[in-house]
């Protein structure tokens, strides 16, 4: 009985979130305070009750109590919002102080439930800093704030829990999450899979290349490395193992490819929408700016797979194992139709919310047929129900991340700590842009080890981006730099979520999988440095067609040669001398200067033509084979 009740509550809250996300941001005006409190309130039952197995003891009453308390506190904000706005964050008595304190605790517990404890723990540390930071002498101290002031600022203003990030979650991210769920459940997921197999299956190392294509396409609607691994890995990992790929390598390919889905336009995951608001840049411009780096990321993964497959003689799929073109094209319409709606409306200048709304609506007629275009009218409620059930918990997780991160942002702004930290970063680097970028990269990777990409990006960008901008980096380039390294943390040991999941699915050792992941993506770690020093790669910031073309050629050659050097394979197996020389050539290609480019051209020609001193005559075998 209790299990059925929980399922009903979960579905109703998910349905409420879906209706709210699809209609209110597009067709109705709701005051910010009401909109954000309602959004988080609908997420609360999903956070504390959904997905829970009914248990006896203290956990069940606690979850119910947290849910009722959270809903009541959000309801108070909605019911009395005009009076709350008039207070300007000043509490009127002890009751409001207690209510605000309870709301903060619920937000922290929601963050702990939905993601790892690191984000709410950091938020708690910032709260302690706000309360006791006046005891810190010198530069990092601040004026005294009492508990009522902190609580009022966080609970009774749109600068605290109900701030900009929570608004982005309610206004933009939620509708795109549900759009992705509807595309996937109405046939888009099958279309991704068939098209990727058809286009890449017969190539050398075909099953692994299928994984990159499928993950790139699925990443456009997912925005989560873990979800991408689970979804596309369910068919790519067994396919790779069947064709003789070592389990660890199969898992690594899926982890690297799935991680890149978060930087693949047109959607790019939740972080891109937050970036659009923080930089005041139209979302379409961010997607355009990210296009070349994202393609280079997947190109690097593709090239790495190709070199590994060359080294070990791995083949592609047989012609009989490929889906027919007719079947593939029919299924591809199920993701092509909503994407055409989305891109067309964005290009025409409509808001992302409006474009996502109509892209989602366009999936509803497709729900009435299967991917073979046969009538499936009876299956429509099931498809729509699964999409709602899938989207609701994802939106709830993002809402908890944003609300928790808002505590950090509010305190950074209120106490001036954000400016102090960014100033300190610049001073520690001695004004060196490269050292500042290096410190930022390390910070992003460390933060990303314990929290989802969106949370890692938010925490890193609020302190690191101002430091980079102060040194002259374009704001969009600074934010993309942080965003990329927050994403790459998913495949960076020792805590690499995408690697753990993929290794578990493949039955492989996670450490071996992590080594393969790094060898496939080493060159990709240089991409953010490249576009910070060469804005033409980002298209919209600087440079005309010639500069953009030159940047693409340099970066492409750099990715090829660096991948070859790290893997030890180019036209054949490289000697250690050959590997070192190829890596040097790759570094030369990175530097945007004609003299370095000339040396890189000469070095590339020499590496390709000299088959006696740089290449080994015998090739190693079995490194990726299941028989190794």
Orientation angle between helical segments 118-132 and 147-155, nearest 10 degrees = 130
Q: Which residues neighbour 371 within 8 Å (Cβ) at sequence distance 6 or greater?
A: 187, 190, 191, 194, 330, 331, 334
Give the end of a domain, one of 403, 420, 443.
403
pLDDT of residue 416: 86
pLDDT bin (cut points 50, 70, 90) of residue 628 is very low
Domain boundary among the residues 403, 428, 444 is at 403
Cβ-contact 205, 305 below 8 angstroms: yes
Least confident residue range of 246-250, 333-337, 413-417, 494-498: 494-498
Cα 60 from chain centroid? 33
Using CB atoms within 10 Å of the CB of residue 419, give its burial: 0 to 12 exposed, 13 to 18 middle, 19+ buried.
middle
d(CA 538, CA 473): 13
The CA-CA-CA angle for residues 595, 600, 602, to 5°, reads: 100
Is a pLDDT exceeding 70 seen at residue 623? no
Residue 224 confidence (pLDDT) above 70: no
**25/570: higher pLDDT:** 570
Q: How many CB atoms lie within 10 A of CB 237?
A: 25
Name the band, by pLDDT with cuts 50, 70 and 90, for residue 200. Answer: confident
* Span 302-314, pLDDT tens digits: 888 888 888 877 7
116 and 238 share a domain? no
Residue 43 confidence class, pLDDT cut points 50, 70, 90: very high
Give the model confidence (pLDDT) of 333-388 as tens digits.
998 898 889 888 888 888 888 888 999 999 999 999 998 899 998 999 999 999 99
Angle at 392 between CA 390 and CA 393, to 5 degrees: 80
For 206: left if phi > 0, alpha if psi spans -120 to 50, otherwise beta; the answer is alpha
| Residue 543 lies inside a defined structural domain of this protein | no
How far apart CA 113 and CA 110 sit, in angstroms, is 5
Structural domain harbouring 282: 165-403
Quickly state the pLDDT bin for 56 (edges 50, 70, 90). Answer: low
Does residue 548 contact residue 555 with C-beta atoms inside 8 Å?
Answer: no
**β partners of residue 277:** none
| Residue 536 in tokens | 């033409």
Instruction: Please indicate, yes or no, if residue 259 is contained in any of the structural domains.
Output: yes
User: How many domains does one find in the chain?
Assistant: 2
Give which of 341, 406, 349, 344 is closest to 157, Cα–Cα. Answer: 406
Where helices occur in 28-161 by DSSP H, the ranges are 32-48, 59-79, 81-87, 94-114, 118-132, 147-155
User: For 516-543, how does the pLDDT look when each residue is reduced to its tens digit (9 = 90+)?
Assistant: 998 888 777 888 998 898 888 888 766 6
- What pLDDT was estimated at residue 195? 85
In the three-class reduction of DSSP (H, G, I as helix; E, B as strand; rest coil), residue 55 is classed as: coil
Q: Please check whether residue 67 lies inside any domain of the structure.
A: yes
Using pLDDT thresholds of 50, 70 and 90, give the confidence band for residue 223.
low
pLDDT band at 488 (very low <50, low <70, confident <90, very high): confident
| pTM for the model | 0.78
Co-location of 49 and 16 in the same domain = yes
Same domain, 189 and 92: no
Identify whether residues 175 and 296 lie together within a single domain: yes
Q: Is the dihedral of CA 593, 595, 598, 603 positive or negative?
A: negative
Q: Please report whether residue 480 resides in a domain.
A: no
Residue 567 located in a structural domain: no
> Within this chain, do residues 243 and 101 fall inside the same structural domain, yes or no?
no
| Structure-token pair, residue 566 | 């790290």
Q: Is residue 511 part of a domain?
A: no
245 backbone dihedrals φ, ψ, rounded to 5°: -75, 140
The per-residue pLDDT for 272 is 79
Task: Give the residue with greater pLDDT, 312 vs 154.
Answer: 154
Contact 236, 265 (CB under 8 A): no
Residue after which a domain boundary falls, among 359, 385, 403: 403
Check if the beta carbon of residue 185 is closer than 8 Å to that of residue 383.
yes
Question: Which pLDDT band, with edges at 50, 70 and 90, does 152 fall under?
Answer: very high
Give the CA distances from residue 136 to residues 139, 144, 463, in Å, rounded to whole numbers and listed in that order: 8, 11, 20
Residue 578, domain member (yes or no): no
Report, as an integer, the average pLDDT of 14-31.
Answer: 84
Same domain, yes or no: 264 and 372: yes
Q: Confidence class of residue 41 from pLDDT cuts 50, 70 and 90?
A: very high
Q: Is residue 295 part of a domain?
A: yes
Residues 234, 151 within the same domain: no
Grade residue 621 by pLDDT with cuts at 50, 70 and 90: very low
Q: Is the same domain home to 355 and 395?
A: yes
What is the rounded average pLDDT of the residues 450-467? Answer: 78
- Looking at the structure, tell me whether residues 110 and 192 fall in a common domain: no
Do 88 and 111 fall within a single domain?
yes
Shared-domain flag, residues 360 and 314 = yes
- Could you tell me if 122 and 192 lie in one domain? no
């Amino acid at each position: 009985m209790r299990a059925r009740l929980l399922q009903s509550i979960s579905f109703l809250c998910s349905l409420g979130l879906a209706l709210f996300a699809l209609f209110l941001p597009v067709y109705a005006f709701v005051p910010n305070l009401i909109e954000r409190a309602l959004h988080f309130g609908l997420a609360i039952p999903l956070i504390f009750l959904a997905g829970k197995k009914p248990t006896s003891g203290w956990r069940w009453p606690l979850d119910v109590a947290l849910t009722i308390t959270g809903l009541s506190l959000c309801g108070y904000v909605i019911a009395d919002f005009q009076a709350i706005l008039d207070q300007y964050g000043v509490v009127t008595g002890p009751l409001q102080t207690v209510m605000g304190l309870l709301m903060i605790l619920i937000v922290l517990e929601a963050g702990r439930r939905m993601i790892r404890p690191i984000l709410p723990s950091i938020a708690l540390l910032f709260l302690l800093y706000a309360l006791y930071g006046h005891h810190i002498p010198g530069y990092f101290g601040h004026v005294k704030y009492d508990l009522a002031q902190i609580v009022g600022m966080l609970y009774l203003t749109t600068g605290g829990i109900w701030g900009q990030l929570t608004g982005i979650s309610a206004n933009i991210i939620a509708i795109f999450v549900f759009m992705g769920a509807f595309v996937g459940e109405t046939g888009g997921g099958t279309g991704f899979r068939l098209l990727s197999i058809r286009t890449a299956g017969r190539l050398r190392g075909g099953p692994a290349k299928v994984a990159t294509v499928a993950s790139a396409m699925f990443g456009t609607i997912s925005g989560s490395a873990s979800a991408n691994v689970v979804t596309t890995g369910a068919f790519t990992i067994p396919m790779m193992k069947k064709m003789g790929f070592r389990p660890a390598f199969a898992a690594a390919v899926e982890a690297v490819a799935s991680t890149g889905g978060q930087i693949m336009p047109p959607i790019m995951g939740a972080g891109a929408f937050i970036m659009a608001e923080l930089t005041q840049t139209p979302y379409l411009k961010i997607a355009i700016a990210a296009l070349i780096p994202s393609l280079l990321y997947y190109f690097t993964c593709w090239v790495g797979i190709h070199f590994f497959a060359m080294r070990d003689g791995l083949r592609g799929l047989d012609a009989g194992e490929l889906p027919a073109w007719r079947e593939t094209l029919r299924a591809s319409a199920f993701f092509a139709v909503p994407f055409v709606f989305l891109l067309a409306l964005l290009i025409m200048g409509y808001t992302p919310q409006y474009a996502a709304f109509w892209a989602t609506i366009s999936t509803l007629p497709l729900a009435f047929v299967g991917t073979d275009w046969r009538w499936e009218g009876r299956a429509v409620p099931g498809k729509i129900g699964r999409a709602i059930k899938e989207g609701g918990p994802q939106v709830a997780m993002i809402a908890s991340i944003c609300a928790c991160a808002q505590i950090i942002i509010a305190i950074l702004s209120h106490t001036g700590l954000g400016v102090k930290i960014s100033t300190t970063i610049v001073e520690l680097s001695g004004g060196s842009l490269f050292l500042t970028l290096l410190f930022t990269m390390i910070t992003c990777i460390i933060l990303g080890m314990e929290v989802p990409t969106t949370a890692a990006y938010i925490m890193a960008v609020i302190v690191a981006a101002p430091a980079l901008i102060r040194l002259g980096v374009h704001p969009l380039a600074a934010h993309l730099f942080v965003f990329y390294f927050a994403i790459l943390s998913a495949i960076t040991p020792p805590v690499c979520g995408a690697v753990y999941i993929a290794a578990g699915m493949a039955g492989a050792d996670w450490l071996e999988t992590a080594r393969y992941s790094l060898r496939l993506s080493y060159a990709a770690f240089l991409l953010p440095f490249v576009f910070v020093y060469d804005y033409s790669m980002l298209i919209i910031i600087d440079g005309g067609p010639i500069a953009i073309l030159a940047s693409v050629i340099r970066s492409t050659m750099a990715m090829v040669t660096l991948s070859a050097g790290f893997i030890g394979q180019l036209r054949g197996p490289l000697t250690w001398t050959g590997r070192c020389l190829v890596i040097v050539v790759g570094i030369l290609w990175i530097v945007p200067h004609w003299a370095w480019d000339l040396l890189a051209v000469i070095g590339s020609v020499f590496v390709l033509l000299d088959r006696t001193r740089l290449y080994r005559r015998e090739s190693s075998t079995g490194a990726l084979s299941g028989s190794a």
